[in-house]
A and B are shown apart, each in its own frame.
Chain A
Amino acid sequence: MIAAVWIIGTFVAIGVIGWLFRAAGRAAGNRPFFRDMPFGVAYGYVFGVFALAAGVWLWTLPKAVFFRWAVMGFVGFAVAAWLFRLAGRHIGTARTRKLFRAMPLTAAFGIMIILIYAITAIFAAWIAPHAQQEIFTQANIVPGGDPALGGNPLFPLGTDQIGRDILSRLIYGAQNTVGIAFATTLIAFTVGGSLGFLAATLGGWLDQLLGRLVDVLMAIPSLIFALLLMTIASVWAGGEKWLLTVYMVLIIALIDSTRVFRLARAVGQNIVVMDYIEAAKLRGEGLGYLIFREILPNATAPLLAEFGLRFCFVFLTIASLSFLGVGIQPPLADWGTMVHDLAQFINFAAVAPQVASAPLLAASAIALLTVAVNFVVDWMLHRSSGLKE
């Protein structure tokens, strides 16, 4: 109750100060900046100052460890992205340099993170200090590498409950989780995209048939549907763990291809009515030429954007399935499974932040990639819409 009064009081106070701020600006010279300022903007300025002050205050609190980490991480990534963009503006071909010059910082951050993940995934075997399934005698070493807090410099991010090196498993996780997600998204797009364009071009009963089929598949909640199919698949796979992974890729690809189908069909329908398609039809062109040479080049922008988003969803689905124990199977390292295995440590957040950070490492690896991919997608969407004008 008291808290509510405080919160409402603060907002009212900000409003009063904002009004005074604008009035003061108008009294002193009445420049167009203050003269044409709506109250909402004045409120925003004061709110920003309040938020900044609150942040500084929070920073000084000894208990706000995670807040300090978050701020340090944010500033660190921003600086790294800025340097990355600076490098991109001076290194590379004329085309990439031009690309980097017009790039917002968020997109540079996204590309940087994706590059780092890609390199980590490809060279995991060389980068990782240990193998992903190697078990050491010391279990539950605290991350941080500080012996006073229960860490060990040999395992900078600690070990899990059965003594596997978390750093190595994070690095291999990039390979497994990201690699499988990429393959899955690719399959979903090939299937969904082709069928979507086909439905848009031919129309008629094929369009109806595919459309209703997709409706049926989309009517079932996707995670529950995936779980159901995975249960069946685990029987089919028998004991073969690699076969189960293949089934998982196909199942998620099937479920996600329905969303891609919808998009490809909608985009395709807008393109099919264009006069240049009519001209190609009247020329007597075949279906393959129409779809791949006339429609596809004009649909790349929305499809690429969807690819980025879909990749994140697939990635999260795999992580969720692994968290539930039916996804990527041990001993393969996987971020979803790692969060699941170490989840109980989160309870120590109040007393021992170092200990609690163990499950958060894998979780933030997932979060970081999701954010990065979305930044890049936003940028691509912006660019493609700018081209249309």
Chain B
Amino acid sequence: MGERLLTIKDLYIEGRSDETWTPIIKGVDLTLDKGEVLGLIGESGAGKSTLGLAAMGFCRDGVRISGGSVDFDGIDLLNASAATKRGLLGKRIAYVAQSAAASFNPAHKIIEQHVEAPVQHHVMGRAESIQDGIELYRRLRLPNPEQIGFRYPHQVSGGQLQRAMTAMAMSCRPDLIIFDEPTTALDVTTQIEVLAAIRDIVAQFDTAAIYITHDLAVVAQMADRIKVLLKGDEVEEADTRTMLSSPQQDYTRSLWAVRSFERPMKPAVATGAQPVVSVRGVTASYGKVAVLHDVSFDIHAGRTVAVVGESGSGKSTTARCITGLLPPIEGEILFDGVPLPANYRKRSKDQLRQAQMIYQMADTALNPRVTIGQIIARPLQFYGGLSGSALRKRLDELLDQIELDPKIYRDRLPSELSGGQKQRIGIARALAAEPKFIICDEVTSALDQLVAEGILRLLARLQDDLGLSYMFITHDLATVKAIADEVVVMKDGRVVEQGEKNEMFAPPHHAYTDLLLSSVPQMDPDWLDQLLAQRGVDNIGDAAVDKM
């Protein structure tokens, strides 16, 4: 450390929208020494990725750098010729994107894409580069390092692909790597493996890195220093331990505080009480592939049951069985003690009304060509038969309930709303049917932490006001801690463990629950080290092999 590698001074970046240029980055300074890892954090739209790309002297289409300078090891990147930059990118500066699956070319084998940069830049020959790739795969603890490179990108899992991409960035031994949210799309258990692998390899080769993320706990493990961005401006910068223990600015403190939301426990359910929804021994399959095996749990009035598990564990499939989109092969769904027809087409209008759903991606859950008013009004007309001023009044009430001003939002299209606001509209549409039971399918996982917290608080308040029951599907244990009364843990289509939240978060756990719980990143910079020491590095490698 010590030698200066990258200096960004007073950088201004503008983006083009509706014929005018609006500022994205407003005069940010950034310095990075050799071998140092800088964490960039902020909400979406804070300009993290734009700043990360600018560190490579690059900006996306429709974006321009309007002022400032970027100096990489004595080279002025903003005024360098195309030929100079071609010589640098990939060789001395590399980039790891958020979605490895979208960044690999699906038509070529992984190793073919790996050797491209070293061969192009005359760093290594082809054969040598392949050998080196295999060595890197081994160091990144990929299972089967000799063979994995000779597969196509779709033949390996998301976490493995992300590591293969890190290996690719490492192929020329660059001085600087930009990681743009490399673990955001991964499950907690997979995230650990990728985090540990990235951190080790960056340390081994003394590579400097800019690590972009919105997850504080992740950045706490990775970075030496943290810089917080808000709407293109720097909020504050300090080294990791100082930043975590004593943040100076209000905004930073609010980010830190998000994880503290936790609603009080409700009294236990009276024995013998009739559950609102009862899932009894449900087994289901897609074609011949069985995805659910004998799943049973109850959801009582006014309570929240969180269904937790990795992707592919059958959480969403259970929801599809309850809504009737996927009729189960065996078992049944009881609603207020009455069995529901397996197929939603056979259910009565009132049965459909009683169970509503809120989706993960608000973008695809709202028809983009219909106004907010019409979206929420439709269930009111359809179920309640409301029209005219009564409809208008109820619509405004609902918008008030989700804390959006009816006058402003009634006539807008979904594209004119932010992600959190769209999710609120989804909630209002579900409420409009006046249901007893709502399925929330990963409703906060696509949102920034501050926004997600707002949604969780809203859902909690609505439950208290209206006595709703929730089935809350999530893979994020912090969310579970915040909102759940009971927890159902699923793995490979089976319920592994279920019970009251307090019991679940207190030992002893089922082995899988324990793995899930311990994999949630903590706001402690030493957490990853301690965890790895506890589990033993080899154990992680084995876990990766198990996932194959």
Contacts and interface: CB of A to CB of B under 8 A. Distances in A.
Interface of A: 32, 35-36, 102, 274-276, 278-279, 281-285, 293-294, 297-298, 387
B325 A282 contact: yes
Interface of B: 19, 79, 81-83, 323-325, 344, 347, 349, 352, 356-357, 359, 361, 364-370, 378-379, 382-383, 415, 429, 433
Contact of B352 (A283, A293, A297, A387): A283
A298 B379 contact: no
What is the interface of chain A mostly: helix, strand, loop, or mixed? Answer: helix
Contacts of B324: 282
A283 to B, nearest CB: 6
Contacts of B369: 297-298
A278 B316 CA distance: 14
Contact of B429 (A32, A102, A279, A285): A279
B344 A275 contact: no
A279 B365 contact: yes
A279 B344 contact: no
A278 B378 CA distance: 14
Contact of A284 (B83, B349, B359, B368): B349
Given A282-B352, A282-B357, 13 more contacts: A35-B82, A274-B364, A274-B365, A276-B364, A276-B367, A278-B325, A281-B325, A281-B344, A282-B356, A283-B379, A284-B382, A297-B370, A298-B367
A387 B323 CA distance: 33
A283 B365 contact: no
Contacts of A32: 79, 81
Given A32-B81, A275-B359, A284-B349, A294 B367 contact: yes
Nearest to B361: A275
B444 to A, nearest CB: 16
B82 A279 contact: no
A120 to B, nearest CB: 35
21 contacts: A35-B81, A35-B82, A36-B82, A274-B365, A275-B364, A275-B365, A276-B364, A278-B357, A281-B325, A282-B325, A282-B344, A282-B357, A283-B352, A283-B382, A284-B382, A285-B382, A297-B367, A297-B370, A298-B367, A298-B368, A387-B415
B352 A279 contact: no
A293 B374 CA distance: 11
Given A278-B325, A279-B357, A284 B366 contact: no
B122 to A, nearest CB: 21
Contacts of B368: 298
Contacts, number: 54
Given A35-B81, A275-B359, A282 B365 contact: no
A276 B81 contact: no
A284 B352 contact: yes
A36 B364 CA distance: 42
Contacts of A276: 364-367
A261 to B, nearest CB: 22
B77 to A, nearest CB: 13
B428 to A, nearest CB: 12
Contacts of B19: 102
A283 B429 CA distance: 11
A109 to B, nearest CB: 22
Contacts of A285: 382
A35 B86 CA distance: 13
Contacts of A281: 325, 344
Contacts of A293: 370
A279 B359 contact: yes
A293 B357 CA distance: 20
A387 B415 CA distance: 9
A293 to B, nearest CB: 8
Contacts of A387: 415
Contacts of B356: 282
A36 B81 contact: yes
A60 to B, nearest CB: 41
Contacts of B415: 387
Contacts of B382: 283-285
A297 B19 CA distance: 27
Contacts of B378: 283
A282 B433 CA distance: 12
A294 B366 CA distance: 10
Nearest to A295: B367
Contacts of B344: 281-282
A36 B83 CA distance: 7
A35 B433 CA distance: 64
A65 to B, nearest CB: 44
Nearest to B370: A297
